[in-house]
Amino acid sequence: MRVVWQLVAVSAVAFVGGQAVAAVQGNWFLTLVLGLLTSAAAVAVYGWVVRRTEHRPSTEVWRDGARTAFGRGALIGVAAFACVIANIALLGDYTVHGAGSVTGAVGLVGFMAAAAATEELLFRGVLFRIVEERTGTWIALTSTGVLFGMMHLLNKDATLWGALAIAVEAGGMLGAAYAATRTLWLPIGLHFGWNWAESAVFGTEVSGSGAQRGLLDASTSGSQLVTGGEFGPEASLYSVLLGILVTLAFLRLARRRGHLVPRRGRDTAAGSVATLPR
């Protein structure tokens, strides 16, 4: 039952916060404030429900080292997406038409922070962590990655290829980031940095949910395999390849730190994971 309580608690915050942010759409300041409040509330509620249902400290969201881990993740996310855009631009398929909106980019800080925090708490904090206890890291990485990708089929301009790309590049990369560090702050930062760069800096589509007005007024054109088409650059082959490379780097780090959990019996797996540094 713990997985149900944890999913319900975090989902409730995500729903209420999402409705609040949607209600003030167009107001950059309120979007910023409500988005940040939603992300903070989601982390607090997650920590509380984990302590209540698992009777342990919620070390994966401890404040100690949170700023550093989040900052590193955000930098990796921004740099990774900048590499994707740079490769698309080198082929002449990304064009900047002029300046965009500074206030729009600031408002997207709140919007993307709320999305990153709630999604990482649900998919890596609850689902990946608990599935990993029962089945090991590899099955958890695959199953939650696929589920994360399929969730994006609900977006406006979703495609099956886009969902599969998200499953590989994001589901794998973010799950591996948690496995390597045993803190949710780094995958939250990575998720935020990637999405914020994609929307607020480079002004492109985010997972088929529509283009956002950021610092640059830009557009993509050309082959869908290169640009991702209407789904956005996350459906680009460049994103998939880069996501795989980052995933492998995190998995190598997780292996070196002894954080990979092998497939084993239910009781053994649960006990083994409990001893891992978080």
Strand partners, 94: 220
Q: Residue 210 has what pLDDT?
A: 67
pLDDT in tens, the chain (278 residues): 899 999 999 999 999 999 999 999 889 999 999 999 999 999 999 999 999 999 999 999 999 999 999 999 999 999 999 999 999 999 999 999 999 899 999 999 999 999 999 999 999 999 999 999 999 999 999 999 999 999 988 888 788 999 999 999 999 999 999 999 999 999 999 999 999 999 999 999 888 676 677 899 999 998 999 999 989 999 999 999 999 999 999 999 999 999 999 987 544 444 444 445 44
Query: What residues contact 56, with CB distance under 8 A and at least 6 apart?
Result: 50, 274
Whether the CA torsion 90, 93, 97, 103 is positive or negative: it is negative
CA distances from 25 to 18, 107, 169, 207 (A): 11, 9, 29, 19
